[in-house]
């Protein structure tokens, strides 16, 4: 038979335990939450990098990326050269009412034009307004956090290694030319 009042004592113990614990209630929207750096909020577009290759739109499992473009002719860089044509972006929109945040578009973009932003305050009362156009996607680009620093022991990225080697080669060439010029000047001085 339960001791009279034991239920009350148990209840009070739970209350006391809870009162002394740190509260986990988030005071949003008065206090912004601290999100993990790789949070998937929205997708930002860095349109300068976009070549309108259409890979993201083709790979999106929800077909919720809409891209329009037109071709422009770029005149030859030098006389006698060949004209080139390039794609110019007219529209880039993502329908976030369909997007399932899989990240495939970001993974497949070969030109680093799409990024995850932790921004999450884009609720709308009308579902049609969840299709966001390039201006909005560009605005979100500025909320993308910086990539984490490389591991100190990580292999040097190929692009940086190639750029460093090219710079070293150019510096060696310049030093050799300067040394040759100095030697020639000295030889001329000795002849006089
Ligand atoms: S995150 Fe996935 S579903 Fe959303 S736009 Fe990119 S590919 Fe499509
Ligand atoms: S995959 Fe990248 S470069 Fe190609 S259209 Fe999409 S955003 Fe632009």
Question: What would the mean pLDDT of 95-123 be, rounded to a whole number?
Answer: 95
Q: Give Cα 8 to chain centroid, integer Å.
A: 55
Using the predicted structure, report yes or no on whether residue 151 has a pLDDT greater than 90.
no
SS (H, E, C) the chain: CCCCCHHHHHHHHHHHHHHHCCCCCCCCCCCCCCCCCCCCCEEEECHHHCCCCCHHHHHCCCCCEEEEEEEEEECCCCCCCCCEEEEEEEEEEEECCCCCCCCHHHHHCCCCCEEEECCCCCCCCCHHHHEECHHHHHHHHCCCCCCCCCCCCCCCCHHHHHHHHHHHHHHHHHHHHHHHHHHHHHHHHHHC
123 and 157 housed in the same domain? no
- Which is higher by pLDDT, 151 or 64? 64
160 and 94 housed in the same domain? no
43 and 78 housed in the same domain? yes
64 ligand 1 Cβ < 6 A: yes
44 and 91 housed in the same domain? yes
pLDDT, one tens digit per residue, over 14-46 is 999 988 888 888 899 999 988 887 899 999 999
40 and 100 housed in the same domain? yes
Question: Which residues are near ligand 2 (CB < 6 Å)?
Answer: 50-56, 67, 109, 111, 113-114
**Closest listed ligand to the CA of 110:** 2
Q: Ligand 1: distance of its center to the CA of 105 in Å? A: 6
102 ligand 1 Cβ < 6 A: yes
State the closest ligand 2 atom to the C-alpha of 65, by its place in the atom list counted from 1: 6
Query: What is the rounded distance in angstroms from the CA atom of residue 150 to the CA atom of residue 70?
Result: 38
**Closest listed ligand to the CA of 91:** 2
91 and 164 housed in the same domain? no
Whether 43 maps to a domain, the answer reads yes
Whether 63 maps to a domain, the answer reads yes
Query: What is the rounded distance in angstroms from the CA atom of residue 105 to the CA atom of residue 61?
Result: 9
Query: What residue's CA is closest to ligand 2, atom 8?
Result: 50
Question: Residue 30, exposed/middle/buried by CB under 10 A (0-12, 13-18, 19+)?
Answer: exposed
Q: How confident is the model at residue 178 (pLDDT cuts 50, 70, 90)?
A: very high
137 and 164 housed in the same domain? no
State the closest ligand 2 atom to the C-alpha of 112, by its place in the atom list counted from 1: 2
Among 6-10, 11-15, 186-190, the least confident range: 186-190
Judge contact between 114 and 43, C-beta under 8 A.
Answer: yes
Question: What would the mean pLDDT of 59-66 be, rounded to a whole number?
Answer: 97
Give me the number of domains the chain comprises: 2
Average pLDDT, the chain: 92
State the closest ligand 1 atom to the C-alpha of 65, by its place in the atom list counted from 1: 5
What's the confidence (pLDDT) of residue 3?
A: 82
Name the residue range of residue 158's domain. Answer: 152-192
Instruction: For residue 74, give the nearest of 65, 82, 66 by alpha carbon.
Output: 82
């Amino acid at each position: 038979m339960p001791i009279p009042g034991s239920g009350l004592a148990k209840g009070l113990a739970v209350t006391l335990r809870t009162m002394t614990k740190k509260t986990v209630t988030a005071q949003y929207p008065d206090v912004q939450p601290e999100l993990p750096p790789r949070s998937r909020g929205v997708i930002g577009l860095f349109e300068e990098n976009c070549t309108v290759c259409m890979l993201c739109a083709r790979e999106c499992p929800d077909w919720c990326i809409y891209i329009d473009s037109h071709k422009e002719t770029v005149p030859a860089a030098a006389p006698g050269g060949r004209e080139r044509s390039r794609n110019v972006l007219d529209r880039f929109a993502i329908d976030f009412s369909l997007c399932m945040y899989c990240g495939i578009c970001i993974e497949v973009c070969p030109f680093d034009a799409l990024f995850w932003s932790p921004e999450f305050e884009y609720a709308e009362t009308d579902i049609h307004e969840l299709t966001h156009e390039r201006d909005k996607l560009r605005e979100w680009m500025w909320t993308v956090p910086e990539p984490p620093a490389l591991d100190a022991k990580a292999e040097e990225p190929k692009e940086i290694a190639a750029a460093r080697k090219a710079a070293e080669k150019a510096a060696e060439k310049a030093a050799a030319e300067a040394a040759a010029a100095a030697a020639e000047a000295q030889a001329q001085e000795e002849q006089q």
